[in-house]
Structures are given as structure tokens and as C-alpha cells.
Amino acid sequence: MMRCLAQARTTVVVVFSGRQLARVFFESVVLAKLTAKVWVASEDWAISRHISSVPGIWGIGTVLGVAIPQRRVPGLKEFEEAYVRADKGALAPCLRGSWCSSKQLCRECWASTAQKMPTLGAFSMGSAYNVYQAVYAVAHSLHQLLGCASGVCSRGWVYPWQLLEQIRKVNFLLHKDIVTFNDNGDPLSSYNIIAWDWSGPNWTFRVIGSSLWSPVWLDINTIKIRWHGKDNQNTCGFLQVPQSVCSRDCPEGHQRVIMGFHHCCFECVLCEAGTFLNKSGE
């Protein structure tokens, strides 16, 4: 894959991946010294420090992506901080930990396992809020299926297909966000368009635009994008958008010969003597 990317004449690469595989991918990109490209990030890794912490990744070029607007799950940060404090203490049942003060008492001793709680910096509040919304979506669906609106929920069976069908119909407000789905089952969420920023001593990202689903709207402030320069450094003064052209127009007396599956990628071959093209661009 690295060899194909190095040989490709295009400079824009879309990486639709989860953060775990994306880290392995970019470790290979750095080792292969693939630079001066524009990388388009999918939501899961666009603002993940798990990716931005890859050694040498600052030199790969410009990184743009989509990200869910940052939301906070009420009480989650405090809950995690208490959990980490308890996790760093002596091995003890969960009931003794200060993090159990939320009354969400677990019945097993997590501290006796080999797995350790990650640091707070490893958490993704955006992902946590997605789970938060999903739990509420399931709860609203069960509320309807079990007839809880009357004040007394039924004890009947609820099958997975019934729950899935009801989830598609939910439409409720959660902390000023409307939670609902389209006909394909996709959440109708708004997104931020982000760009990585290495201008300071540490990595960060800046929001350069946003999108809405109702009404359909997309806005990008291109002035906020710091394109990589000729020396592959992100500089505030470099405003020229990198070109990504698979093939340039053929000169007169040449014809296009398609290379591969994409009609926009071709070689220019000199026309044979005594032949001509009916129209340009063939």
C-alpha cells in the first residue's frame, strides 16, 4: 500500500478507518517518508491524540477531517477522575473506592485484574457522548414499546427487531441536541470540519467549518487552513492550495490512454501518422 501511495500522482488521500488501525497505518506512512500530501480523516481518528502522538507524524502534510462537535456528558469527567484515583490505590473491592460514591456499585473487583484504567487524556469525550445518546435512544424506544407513558410499564417480551424498528422512529431533545435518524438509520447530526495545527509547541486542531442536516448546509473558512509548504512545514503564510491532479491535459497531437479504472488518470500517447482526433479531450 505504501508503494502505491508513493507512486500515485494524486496528493489527496482519504483515510476512512478506526483509530487503532489508523495508528498502524500512519506509523507505516512515517516510515515510508510519505510527505506533502493532504490527508482527509474520518470522524473516529480526526481529533484523536492516539494518532497525533505517532512520532514524526507532523511531517506527513496537511490533515483535514470531520469531527462531532465536542459535548460533555454530565458528571462523566468527575466519575472517571474518582475512578482513576481509586485505581491507583491498593487492590480493594470496588465498594471501597471513592468512585463508587455515585451509587453505581459494581459487584466484582475490577482492581484485581491485570487491566489498568487508561489516563484521562486517552478518553474521547466525543465518543462518550455518542454512547450517551445511544443509551437514551434505546431507553426512549423501550419506553414506547413497553407502554411506559401510562405510568406502568408492561412486562411483555421485546424482540431485537422490534427495538431496532422503534429506534428508527425516536425523536427527542438531549441537552439541546435533537436525536433522530433518517430512513437509512443514520443519525442526523451536525459535524465540525477540522484541520490539524502544528504552529504551536504542541499539536492541536482548529475548527474551520461546520455542517448541518436541516437545512442541509456546509460552510468552510478556507482562510483558517494552514496548508503545508514546499518544505512540508505548516506555516501560517503558506496559503496556496496543493494541487491533486492525476493527469494533466494532453498536448496537441496526443491521445489519452486510460490507465487503470479511473477515466481521469491517463497517459498521453503520440497519435500515429495519418490519424487525427474528432474532438479534443479523447
What digits encode the pLDDT tens for the residues 48-65?
888 999 999 999 999 999
Q: What is the mean pLDDT of the chain?
A: 81
- Note the pLDDT tens digit of each residue in 172-194: 999 888 899 988 888 888 889 99
Percent of the chain with pLDDT over 70: 80
- Residue 32, Cα to own-chain centre: how many angstroms? 23
134 and 177 in a single domain? The answer is yes
Q: Are 174 and 133 in contact (CB under 8 A)?
A: yes
88 and 60 in a single domain? The answer is no
Task: Look at residue 111 and tell me if it is in a domain.
Answer: yes
Task: Look at residue 55 and tell me if it is in a domain.
Answer: yes
Q: Has residue 91 got a pLDDT over 50?
A: no
Q: Are 57 and 84 in contact (CB under 8 A)?
A: no
Sign of the Cα pseudo-torsion (120, 24, 191, 200, in order): positive
Identify the burial level of 60 via C-beta atoms within 10 angstroms of its C-beta, where 0-12 means exposed, 13-18 middle and 19 or more buried. Answer: buried
3-state secondary structure of 3: helix
145 and 181 in a single domain? The answer is yes
Percent of the chain with pLDDT over 90: 35
CA gyration radius, the chain = 26
Q: How far is the C-alpha of 21 from the C-alpha of 163, rounded, in Å?
A: 31
100 and 148 in a single domain? The answer is no
Q: Domain range holding 13?
A: 2-69+190-224
Task: Look at residue 263 and tell me if it is in a domain.
Answer: yes
Task: Look at residue 241 and tell me if it is in a domain.
Answer: no
The secondary element (H helix, E strand) that includes residue 26 is helix 19-31
pLDDT at 281: 55
pLDDT at 113: 47
CATH code of the domain containing 200? 3.40.50.2300
Q: Has residue 147 got a pLDDT over 50?
A: yes
3-state secondary structure of 220: strand
Q: Has residue 38 got a pLDDT over 90?
A: yes
Range 95-108 average pLDDT: 49
Task: Look at residue 183 and tell me if it is in a domain.
Answer: yes
49 and 86 in a single domain? The answer is no
Task: Look at residue 258 and tell me if it is in a domain.
Answer: yes
Q: Which of 111, 82, 87 is nearest to 98 (CA)?
A: 82
Q: Are 254 and 270 in contact (CB under 8 A)?
A: yes
7 and 63 in a single domain? The answer is yes
**Nearest 10 degrees: CA dihedral of 154, 131, 70, 192?**
-100
Q: Where do we find the cell 486542531?
A: 205
Task: Look at residue 279 and tell me if it is in a domain.
Answer: yes
Total domains in the fold of the chain: 4
Task: Look at residue 236 and tell me if it is in a domain.
Answer: no
195 and 160 in a single domain? The answer is no
Please state whether beta strands 37-41 and 61-67 pair in parallel, antiparallel, or not at all (unpaired).
parallel
> Is this prediction's pTM over 0.75?
no
Most confident of 82-86, 178-182, 206-210, 278-282: 206-210
